[in-house]
Each structure stands twice: as structure tokens, then as C-alpha cells.
Structure 1
Amino acid sequence: MSWNDKASNGAGRGADDESLGREWRIGVDIGGTFTDLVAIAETGALRIAKVPSTPDRPEQAVLDGLDALAAAAGETVAGLLAGCRLFVHGSTVATNTVLEHKGARVGLIATEGFRDSLEIRRGIRPDPWRHREPYPPVLVPRHRRLPVGGRIGASGEELEPLDREALDRQIERLLAEDAEVVAVSLFNSIFADGQERAAAAAVREAGLPVFVSSEIAPVLGEYERTSTVALNAYVGPRTARYVSELSDALAARGLAVPMLLTQNNGGMITPAQVAARPASLLLSGPAAAVGALRHHCDTIGSDNLISMEIGGTSCDVLVMADGEVALTDALDIGGHFLAMPSVDIHTIGAGGGTIARVDAGGMLAVGPEGAGAMPGPAAYGRGGQEATATDAQLVLGRLAPGPYAGGAVSLDADLAEAAIRRCIAEPLGIGVEAAAQGMIRLLEQKLLHALEHLSVEQGHDPRRFTLVAGGGAGALHGAAVARRLGCRRVYVPRLAGAFCAFGMLHSDIRHDTSRVHISPLDSADGAAIASRLAEMRAELAAALAEAGFAEPVWQYGCDLRYQGQQWDVTVPLGASFDLARLREGFEQRHRQLFGHVQPRGTIEITRLRLAGVGPVAGAAPAGPAPAQGDPVARSHRPVWIDAARGRCMAPIYEGADLAPGHAIAGPAIVNEQTTTVLVGAGDRLEVDAHGNYAITLDADAAEDKR
């Protein structure tokens, strides 16, 4: 963890082959369509690989990517891994396990009378206009949700002892049902966990792995805790198996350091720690965007950033306000609630492979379904028959036929045009180009709504923010969507197409914990709170010490709400328990979120939070040399720019020709190794000192006419 890179700050193309060095940091991100790998050497030399994902065997894409990465670095795989000092991986295995319904056979031990809380939920419909739509099947069917006697009161007192005989009988039933893993969620266990621990011990004695709700999710709400522990049990065996097998495969190929994995909160953990909380990998890949944003705060010169990372399958939106990224523990994963500290990411099905179709009412619809890695868009020539966003970009001239995504695939314009004609243009009775334009405009409207959800709806003024366009497709939509949102600048990293893989190399070791603590704010016992926080700190210190951090950075917080309010607001808690400062912070955040405060309202504490962070020095690529002369376009081609201008002959630049100091006036296209940048009419692109692209939007452009 202590290896510090010697390179200058930046995100350029890296040093010459002669100075590659022998020590590497490697980040690997498995996406729905491509698997991205980034390697940064001690000298600052940078190498990238992008290979098709292999959903049925995700570890194969990692190994294929290492072959490609080693070739790009002029190394053998054994040589590359032998020199690796940090290997960080973002995995989609846990997420896919939930979405594909391929999890373990879970048994649930619940308090008598509460076996159905998992199925009853909260009774709240996310969309009231779709009240007939059924919820997804519960992770644990009723015949494996078994009750036991025993009861804990709201103050932690034991009202009824745990029925050990009933517990033994239920464990026998679960064994007869071939349960592979057991989740234990007993009523009010957050106030006293003795009965849960006793039940878990009995399950372990019977030879079954077990997850306990008070350890996994110490939060209020029986459904929230039960759903969270059930999710961990459901994804646990498959996730643990994948992590173990990949770790063994990497070690066999020469990796001498333990593999680390990014988790939901944007930090890194070890494989052993993943086994204890496997659902911490449900946002493993997208959460690494936090590390990328922290790196780019310095290169952009601003700590107010909105990232829009668009890959082949989805768009992940993340907001950094005043240098802080919001966390949440109210996630929806495939229709199942997860109460674990996670980066507040909003994900929609809108990527390069997003499928467009004409619905039964004759209306154009885009997404959320995607073509995936196989067969992918029609243009890939792998048998895909549906019209996708990538096909539309190709028809509109924004993408060019031939090698794409670093040569991982090749685009065929005839196949793209045929798919759009068959699936969209003919059913709507319009031309192919008009159909492609409609697909892109509708997709960008969905992207705009996703950005508004985490910015405007959270009380942020987009005019203060720079939009960071990441992912292979982000830079094609960045300028248009930012203009509609109200941002004035767009920033496109050179490594946009490997945004999260790069972010993994700038992530810290991080562990979060929390405890329910209900008390009126004005009469809170500061000594009791300090004692509880000390217990939490001791718990996290042990986990951080395993990773080599004896003196981590501690971040304190607490959840507050008005008395009788359902939703909490998290407020930072400083070194001392200052009641006036907590009230002020709560009211400021409450006004930002809800537009009002209660000046003399009774505020109560509901939960204490603690994060322990082990800082890891970032690995920055070497900056490129300054520009010599003016930028020169390699070619020109007709490109559809927007609705007001239609097609025009746009200059096509190659990123390899652009260096710090170069500036380009739009409209223009820049082809990069992992992305394609569309510069709108009237916009100005400049290459900054780090080799990244800063786009200043035309303030006079009327986006509503485009």
C-alpha cells in the first residue's frame, strides 16, 4: 500500500517504451460489453487494453485482457504480474448474480411472526402509475423462511428467550431443503444481538455458512435488514468462488501481491473481507469513478464535478460537490433493497449497446434493454439484429466504419443501416437518418433525466459543475447533455473509455460502520456517543490494520431527522460533539433537499456513522510534451451535428496528434484510443497540461433548437 509513484501528475499517453520500468499498478473493470484494463508503471508509462467481456465466464475476460495488456507493454504476462505492486479489480459477478437470478439456495431464520417481512416489503410503490406490476420474486421462498420463538424489546431487553428446540428443528428443515447458506434476521436485533449470535452459532455447528443481519446491516427497519442480509447470502457463494478462483489464477500467472477489489463505498477491500460482506461488490465497478473524480479534481481545478460514464450497457451518474461524494444505504438492486454504505450512483440502461424499438403504440422507445457483449450492436457483425445507439452514431457519421474500441471490434456501416431501417425507419415510415437522429435525441433526453436526478433534485446548481464525460460513449453525448443541463464546461479524460479502471488506481482502502442510536439532539449524552464511536473505531481499526494502516483517517457522521419524520439526513460529525453546529448542518442540508426547515422543530439522532480510510497514493501517468504547431485534421467527413445544423463536413482529428496547448473549434470529431469526442458547433476544445480535453460550451447556443 505504501508504494508511491514517481511520475508527474497527469493523464497523458505515458513515457516511451525504453522507460516502461518494472513496477506496475493494474486496474481491471468488467463492464457489460467490454472489460477495461489500465496499467501505470513507476515511470508514469501508461498502457490500456480493452477486450470483450465474457458474461458466462467473467474471469476469462480478465485473463484475456492481461494477455492484451502485456502485449501492449512489451512484456510477458508473467513479467507484467511479477512487477505488479497493486492489482485492483471491479467485479460485476455479484450484480449479475442478482439480475440473472443465479444465486444460492438461501434459508432464512426469522422471529416468529416476521417470516414474511421480506415479501411484504414497505408497501411503497416506486412508480404509483404502475401499481399492478408485480415485484420481482423474493430471494428466499416461503418454504425456506422459517420462524423461531424469542423476542427482543425496543430497548434491547429480552422479552422472550430464544426457542432453541424450535431453532434446531428449523435448521434440520433447511438441511432437508438443501439450503446452501442461511441468513439470520431476528426482530430488534440492532438493540441487542445476543439471540442472533446464538442462532448463527447453531447454524454453523450444523455445517452451513451463515450471515447475520446485525453484523451486515445494523439499521432500523425489519425489511431493510432482512433484505440486505438475504442479498449477502444470495450472492455469497458465487462471489466468493469467483474471487477465489481469479486470485488463484492470477497467482499461478505470477501475481505476488494480493488482489484488491473495489466495493460499493468507492474504497478497496481484500478478498477475505469480501467473503464476510459479498454484497459490498454490487456496485464494485461504477463506484471506482470516485477515485477517477478525485484525481481529476486537480487536473480540472474544480471540486464540483458530475460524472456521466456511459459504456456499452449503462450510464452511471455520480456527483462530487465541494470535493465530497454522497453516500447512501438505500439502494435498489434488481428490485431488492440493500442497506449497506454505497456511493450514491444513479444507473440507467443507456449505453452504446442500448436497443431501440417501436412499441405497440407506434412510439419510438430506447432502452433499457441492451445488446450486451454478445452479439452486441448490429454493426459489430456478430449476429446482432436489433438497432442500437452505436448503430445510430455510425449512420450519423459520428463514428466511422472500421476498428472500434481500441480494435476490440470492427464497425460495419451497412449492417447498422440495415438494422435501423428494418427495426425503426420502416415501422415509423421515415428515413434511416431521421430514425437514427430520433434514437440519439431520445437517448440523450434519458441521460439528461439521470443527471437531473442527482444534481437538480438534490439541490445542486449545475452551473457550478463541470460535466466529466467518461466511458466509451460518454464523450459523444457530453456536450449536448451538459448544454441542456446547464453546465458550462465538459471535461473528457484521455482515458475516458477506461474511466473506472483508472479510478481504481486512485482509490483508498475504506471501511464503514454504523450503529443505531436514538436520542433527542438537544438532550443527547455526549459521553455515551463518544463511547459508542470508540467501540466502532476499534472494530474498524482491526480491519484496516490487516491492510497495513495503523493510523487511518477517521470520518464521523450522524443521521438526524425531525421527530416523526420518516427519512433521515446525514450530517458530518466533527472531532467534538457540537449541538449547535449539528443543528445548523442539519437545517442547511434539509433546506437544500426539501426547501424548508422547522426553526424550533425537535431534532433527533437516529444513527452514528464512522468511516476508516487508509489513504493510498495515486498513480499518475506522465504528462505529454507541449504542442508544436497547430493541430491538423487527418480527414473530413459528413457528420450530423444537431437538429439545427444537420450534417456538415466536420474535421476529424486523431488524439495521438493532439498535445497540451492545442485548441479546436467545433464542430469537430476527435478519435481517441478508447472513446470518440464530439465537439458541438460553437464549442471550443482545448488540450490541457495533462493531455485531457476541456470543452467550453457555446453560451449562446439554443439547445432546445437542436
Structure 2
Amino acid sequence: MGNPMLVAPFRIGVDVGGTFTDLVLVDGRGTVQAYKSPSVPSNPTDGVLAAVELAARSIGLAVPEFLSKTELFVHGSTVATNTLLEKKGAKVGLLTTEGFRDSLEIRRSIRENVWDHRKPFPEVLVPRYLRLPIAERMEHDGTVRQPLDLASVAAAAKVFAEEGAAAVAICFLHSYANPAHEIAAREELQRLLPNVWVTISSEIAPIIGEYERTSTTVVNAYVAPRVVPYLESLAERLKALGLPRKLLMIQSNGGAISIDEIGHSPASLVLSGPAAGVGSLKFFGQDTGSEQLISIEVGGTSCDVTLMQRGAVSMTDQIVVDGYHLNIPAVDIHTVGAGGGTIASVDGAGLLNAGPEGAGSMPGPASYGRGGERPTVTDAQLVLGRLKPGPYAGGAITLDLEKARQAIQQHVAGPLGLGIEDAAAGIIQLVEQNILHAVEQASLEKGYNPRAFTLVAAGGAGPLHGPSTARLLGSPSLYVPRLAGVFCAFGMCNSDLRHDYVRSWLHGLDDEATSSPELLEHAFGQLQESAVDVLTREGFTGDKAVVQRGYDLRYFGQQWTIPVECASTEPASVRAAFEQVYQRLFGYVQDNGAIEIVNLRLAAIGKLDALEIAKVPPAVSEPVPHSHRSVWIDREKGFVETPVYDGTILTPRQHLTGPAVIEEATTTIFVGPGDKLRITDAGNYHVEIAHAASAPHSTGPALVMSAA
């Protein structure tokens, strides 16, 4: 039985969001189907299984038969991020080297905004009475200065037991050079406290930088007791229901990892959902014919911007989540609070603000009718006619126009002395400025010209803002995937497995005694040996197992490093790679400058068979709108009777000119006046932006605004 149009084996990607759990199903011939099911924040496992049941039922299969035909099940979850944001993690104890008890709280005195001297630092995850000093000391070269005193470890264990600590982080000075003391302390704690999670910094973040290493280790210990049991429970339930393969998770580095390998480092999942967009960018790059892409993924609470240069996404090893620093490999995603649920307000000075506060899924925007009374971006789009009133996502939500109008009138239009439509247009204008600035920060500030890239509008709300953002950037074209509303879930089906390894080095590039090609080759070889072992366990060998080498480099005297991908160990080649990146970022290089190697990095990638673009039969007729409705275009044109198309029946090579609204299964596209849209051979949308090089396009009245 089942849907005869679908052919096993299946690939499944599941992305758990605050409002919906997205599931994408790809069959053996590349046919794609997308599903949305309400998330269950109190028990995300139930939300995942509900989405699986929905997909199975829609193709006429029982869940066990459906899962038995699945060769790849990849999951992205916000559980690690939410644990940190909501402060619902474990009670954590910390062992530090004697004399360094307060390093975690001192934080290097880093402030994200150097001009903001009053904003308090986030709450320390480990209070001082649980930060316990241990008698031990390593030198920077790994030699033992003071042996580990196991008696002090035992005394600390007694305190942790009395205080009810559920997890312990261990971070000793210079453990990146020699982890022996951390390993011995862990063994002692596991003997004395067998039911307590223990995390050591030399495994999670073996890097120079005591604060960053400690913060990363503490966050890992904080989230582990909640994240790991959830993942293990989900994996067991899927296995019991018939899934023959191990569950895979998407990490912050954009790659997948098996459930067996993630147990010791759940902190690597903090960008689990957004990072999966890398897989989608790689896939849709085939359809755009470009390897130069910038995606704006606009969801319910935020806009995530990712840049792909020559088919590779920008990476970083330092991310900040709610003020907590993590030193883990991650896709370089720039995020701003600009989503469908972003709340608009007017402050005491009469300034219009959009964000950073969001309405979430409960109560959600005012138009949801779930008790929310404050206006959001979704409410503004509804008032402007770009969204239609009525049910969405199979009836999971229903948009109420009157509630949207009331919220905007009360909280924005009234205080500003504007009409409701003008106020709604002002909200959209401000949010699109925020998105524009996010794209500029991800491109211009990294030395890239955004006009040389194709802008990709994704997420449920991205295609509503894409044309205006492209116009503001001066970008000539915009690409909208038909699967925009499940962008990350689809990317999970096209993500390779990935493991990242790092080793601190801290020697001059031209110092032959410590950084000769032979020594570097030996060090990389040791990392590669560990990497190949893991890939082999996961079933990747030969040309399916790929390793990529890189360095963290800086000029002597500088504090921050620059990641540089380079396969060579020859100093001249490494220097050339570094100077190329440095020139792009800062516009100059130091002639014959002394360069320092801080870290060696290696990425081990298990290559999955990439999904191929499936060609769709071309159109035999011109597109015909199914209706017309009054849509706000801009301040000059006001409301215009605009054709509305059913995107599910549009076919390749059809063309239309804006203004137009296209309603897709998972998103809505607003095409601006004069924009020319065509359906690609793969059934996606390519938009040529009208007047791309002109002055910024105004969508609303001239207001005094603030991008909070």
C-alpha cells in the first residue's frame, strides 16, 4: 500500500521550532513532501512523533512501515538553546585550578557593546560556592608543576553531593597541553558520584583561552542532563517504532553527528536548527547556478543570515548565546530579532520599536487569537493584505484581521497619531531595515560585496521581505525556494556528517624548531588518526571520508585569531592563505609580518550521497491568478488590487510581473511592482529586482523609528 508516487528508501529531516515541528520527506527519486505539525514545548519528543505520524498517514503507511523504509533520519532541535535561554539547566559544580576560582565570573571583562556600561552581565551558571579550587598545576608546555591532589577532589565531591549538583565541569589551567589531571579528576568523581554528569575542558574545548574554555565546558555540563536524556529517549522510541538506522543530529557546524557520538558534547547543538540551512544552500545552489549565496531565513522570532562563498559557508569558532561564550566550531550565522512574531511598540519618547521581544508561539501574534494583545510583524502583514485572513498550516492557526487591526491601533497607530495602515507599513519598513543591516554585517563587514551574491529568501516569513531587502541592498536578483518554509528541515536531508578537532600550537609560523612542515604534518596526522577512527565507526571510508585542514592564525601581538583553511604545512603556503583572508577583512597586510599559529584544526566529513535537483515538466500555459485582493504596495501607491496565485500549481518557465502575491504551502511571496518572476526548471522562484540600484525603497510613511 502507500503512495505509489513515492519510492523507498526515504530521507527524513525534522526541525523542531517554537511554533511548528517541520518534517521534510525525500523519497528515492528525489520527490519532496513537507509537513508542519504543532510543536509540544513541554515534551518535544511528542511533537516529533506527531509529525512522523502525520507524514506516514498522508502517504498511506503505518508508522512502523514508514520508518522501516527510512535510510536517513536527521533531527535539529532547539532543546539545548532553550535550556540555556530559559535557565532550566542542571545545577553545576566546577573544579578549577587553585587560585583561578573566579575566572568564570571575571569573564575577561568583555562587553558586547563597549558603550553600554550599565547592562549587567548574565547570571553566572555556577555560583561561587560551587566553584571549588583543586590543588594541581600544569605548565603551558604540559609539564607538571604541582601534582594533582585527589584528596581535594574527594572533598569537592562531598560538597557537590551535599548541594545536589547534577553535573560537574572540570577546567584546569593549561589542560589543553596535558589533560592528565582533568582525566584523573574525572575518574575520581565518577567513582564517588556515579550518577553525576562530568565534563572536562580538554575534550570539549582544548584551546588556549581560560575563560572561553571554562565557559564552554560549563555550558556543556549545564545542558547535558536535559539534552542527552531527551535525545536518547527519542532515539529509543524511533527504534521501537521501526527505524533501522541510528538517529542523526545536526550540530552548530552544519554537519550531522550520530546519537552515539553527541553524548559527551551536547553544547555543540546550540545552533542545531539554523545551521542545517547549509545543506539547503548547497542544494539550491545547483538551481541558481551560483555558488555565491546569502540566505535570510526569517522565522517566528528571528532572522538568520548565512553567507556562502564559492560553495563554502563562513565558519567561526566563537559564538555567544544569551551572553554566554562558547568556543565550538559553528556556521557563522548573524541573527537579529526580526521575525513574524517580533513585537512592535512605541516608547516614551514616541519612537517606533520593532523587537527584540517576540510573541512566541503562545500567545503569539494578536491575530492568532490565543490571548496575545500586542502587535507583531505578522499582524502588520495581515493588515497590509500581504497575508490573508483565515486558516494556515492545515488549520493549526487562524489569522484574525480584526484582532490585528485592534492591536496595531492601540499600541502603534494611536500613540503615533497615524492610520492603522500607515502604522503597519512603518512596522514592516523598520523590520526590513533591521534585516538589511543584518545582511550588511554578514557581508560588508566581512569584506564581501552583497551585490555579487544572490539573495535567498527562506523561512516562513522570508519571502515576504525578500524583494524589499534585495532592493535596499541593490541586489539584482532574489531566489525563493518552494520549500522556503521548511528550509532547515530540508537542509537536514542534504547534510554530511562532520566532526571537528582542534589542537593548540602557539608557535611562530617561521620557527623551524617548533613549526617545521614535518612537525605540523605529524600533529595533523595525530588529529587525522582520531578522525578517521570515528568516521570508520560510522561507516565512512575511502572517498566518502574527507578531511579538511585549517589554522587559527594571527600577527604577533594581536589578541584575536583568524581561521584559515589550508591543506599545506609549508610556511609560504600558509602565509599566503592567511594574507589573502587578512587583506579581505582589513584591507592591508603586514609586509613580512611575524605570524603566529595558535591552533591547528581538522574537519572530518562523512560524505552522504547528495540530493540532485529534480526537473519538473515545463508549463503549457501562462499563470492565472485564482483571485485578487487589495495589497499595500508602498507610500506612493498605497493599496492596489493585486493578483494572487496558487504557488502549488505554478510550473517551470512560467513568468509574471509584480505586484503579485504567491501563496505556497509553507510560505507567502510578495513580488514588488516591476519585479519579474520566473519559475526555474526545478520549480523554484527566481526574481529579477526592479530598480535594484536605485535609492532605498520606502514601504511606509516617514516615521521616527528605533531598531531596538
| TM-score bin (small chain) | over 0.9
- 1:505 aligned to 2:496? no
Query: Contact 1:654–1:671 (CA<8 Å) still a contact in 2?
Result: yes
- 1:256 aligned to 2:244? yes
Q: What is the CA–CA distance in structure 1 between the aligned matches of 2:614 and 2:510, rounded to whole Å? A: 53
Letter in 1 for 2:644: I
Letter in 2 for 1:40: V
Q: What is the CA–CA distance in structure 2 between the aligned matches of 1:476 and 1:705, rounded to whole Å? A: 15
TM-score under structure 2 length normalisation: 0.95
1:619 to 584, 598, 611: 611
**547-556 vs 44-53, which deviates more?**
44-53
Deviation at 1:78, TM superposition (A): 2.4
Deviations 1:595-619 (A, max 9, x none): 2211121111111010110100133
Aligned to 1:534: 525
Report matched runs for 1:208-227 at 5 Å: 208-227=196-215
- 1:133 aligned to 2:133? no
Query: Contact 2:470–2:692 (CA<8 Å) still a contact in 1?
Result: no
Q: What is the CA–CA distance in structure 1 between the aligned matches of 2:55 and 2:343, rounded to whole Å? A: 31
Aligned to 1:567: 560
1:374 to 348, 359, 362: 362
- 1:51 aligned to 2:37? yes
CA change 1:130–1:186 in 2 (3 A) is same
Q: What is the CA–CA distance in structure 2 between the aligned matches of 1:549 and 1:188, rounded to whole Å? A: 34
Query: Contact 2:300–2:341 (CA<8 Å) still a contact in 1?
Result: yes
1:77 to 56, 60, 63: 63
Deviation at 1:253, TM superposition (A): 2.5
Aligned to 1:642: 634
- 1:472 is paired with a residue whose SS is coil
- 1:67 is paired with a residue whose SS is helix
Q: What is the CA–CA distance in structure 1 between the aligned matches of 2:451 and 2:393, rounded to whole Å? A: 32
Query: Contact 1:219–1:515 (CA<8 Å) still a contact in 2?
Result: yes
Aligned to 1:238: 226
- 1:29 aligned to 2:22? no
- 1:290 aligned to 2:270? no
Query: Contact 1:49–1:406 (CA<8 Å) still a contact in 2?
Result: no
Deviation at 1:704, TM superposition (A): 2.2
- 1:302 aligned to 2:293? no
Q: What is the CA–CA distance in structure 1 between the aligned matches of 2:11 and 2:395, rounded to whole Å? A: 23
CA change 1:703–1:682 in 2 (3 A) is farther
2:28 to 18, 42, 45: 42
Deviation at 1:357, TM superposition (A): 1.3
Query: Contact 2:471–2:692 (CA<8 Å) still a contact in 1?
Result: no
**232-241 vs 579-588, which deviates more?**
579-588
Aligned to 2:687: 695
Aligned to 2:375: 387
Q: What is the CA–CA distance in structure 1 between the aligned matches of 2:679 and 2:268, rounded to whole Å? A: 37
Deviation at 1:22, TM superposition (A): 3.6
Q: What is the CA–CA distance in structure 2 between the aligned matches of 1:522 and 1:486, rounded to whole Å? A: 44
Letter in 2 for 1:546: R
Query: Contact 1:203–1:209 (CA<8 Å) still a contact in 2?
Result: no
Report matched runs for 1:341-356 at 5 Å: 341-356=329-344
Q: Percent identity?
A: 49
Query: Contact 2:390–2:398 (CA<8 Å) still a contact in 1?
Result: yes
- 2:648 is paired with a residue whose SS is helix
Deviation at 1:158, TM superposition (A): 1.2
Q: What is the CA–CA distance in structure 2 between the aligned matches of 1:253 and 1:619, rounded to whole Å? A: 26
Deviations 1:284-338 (A, max 9, x none): 1100000000111111100000011111121111100111112111100111000
Letter in 2 for 1:392: A
Deviation at 1:18, TM superposition (A): 2.8
Query: Contact 1:308–1:468 (CA<8 Å) still a contact in 2?
Result: yes
Q: What is the CA–CA distance in structure 2 between the aligned matches of 1:319 and 1:45, rounded to whole Å? A: 27
Deviation at 1:256, TM superposition (A): 2.2
Q: What is the CA–CA distance in structure 2 between the aligned matches of 1:242 and 1:458, rounded to whole Å? A: 37
Query: Contact 1:45–1:621 (CA<8 Å) still a contact in 2?
Result: no
Q: What is the CA–CA distance in structure 1 between the aligned matches of 2:674 and 2:208, rounded to whole Å? A: 52
Deviation at 1:550, TM superposition (A): 2.2
- 1:544 aligned to 2:532? no
- 2:696 is paired with a residue whose SS is helix
Letter in 2 for 1:564: G
Q: What is the CA–CA distance in structure 2 between the aligned matches of 1:518 and 1:430, rounded to whole Å? A: 60
Query: Contact 1:37–1:49 (CA<8 Å) still a contact in 2?
Result: yes
Q: How many residue pairs end up in the alignment?
A: 690
2:347 to 347, 359, 373: 359
- 1:139 is paired with a residue whose SS is coil
Q: Which of 1 and 2 has higher RCO (CA within 8 Å, sep 6+)? A: 1
CA change 1:360–1:660 in 2 (3 A) is same
Query: Contact 1:33–1:311 (CA<8 Å) still a contact in 2?
Result: no
- 1:685 aligned to 2:677? yes
Deviations 1:662-702 (A, max 9, x none): 01111111110001111111111110000000011113663
Deviation at 1:489, TM superposition (A): 1.0
Aligned to 1:117: 103
Query: Contact 1:682–1:701 (CA<8 Å) still a contact in 2?
Result: no
- 1:585 is paired with a residue whose SS is helix
Deviations 1:15-61 (A, max 9, x none): x9432124211100011222111001113332211122222222222
Deviation at 1:415, TM superposition (A): 1.2
Letter in 2 for 1:554: V
Q: What is the CA–CA distance in structure 2 between the aligned matches of 1:599 and 1:318, rounded to whole Å? A: 32
Moved over 6 A (4+): none
- 2:510 is paired with a residue whose SS is helix
Letter in 1 for 2:6: L
Deviation at 1:525, TM superposition (A): 1.6
Query: Contact 2:286–2:613 (CA<8 Å) still a contact in 1?
Result: no
**644-653 vs 90-99, which deviates more?**
644-653
Aligned to 1:6: none
TM-score under structure 1 length normalisation: 0.96
Q: What is the CA–CA distance in structure 2 between the aligned matches of 1:583 and 1:33, rounded to whole Å? A: 48
Query: Contact 2:501–2:603 (CA<8 Å) still a contact in 1?
Result: yes
Q: What is the CA–CA distance in structure 2 between the aligned matches of 1:521 and 1:619, rounded to whole Å? A: 41
Query: Contact 2:319–2:325 (CA<8 Å) still a contact in 1?
Result: yes
Deviations 1:637-657 (A, max 9, x none): 111122333221111111122
Query: Contact 2:313–2:332 (CA<8 Å) still a contact in 1?
Result: yes
Q: What is the CA–CA distance in structure 1 between the aligned matches of 2:692 and 2:230, rounded to whole Å? A: 52
Query: Contact 2:482–2:684 (CA<8 Å) still a contact in 1?
Result: yes
Q: What is the CA–CA distance in structure 2 between the aligned matches of 1:281 and 1:27, rounded to whole Å? A: 16
Query: Contact 2:15–2:22 (CA<8 Å) still a contact in 1?
Result: yes
Aligned to 1:482: 470
Deviations 1:405-445 (A, max 9, x none): 35432211111111111121112221111110111011111
Aligned to 1:267: 255
Report matched runs for 1:536-615 at 5 Å: 536-551=527-542, 552-574=545-567, 576-615=568-607
Query: Contact 2:631–2:639 (CA<8 Å) still a contact in 1?
Result: yes
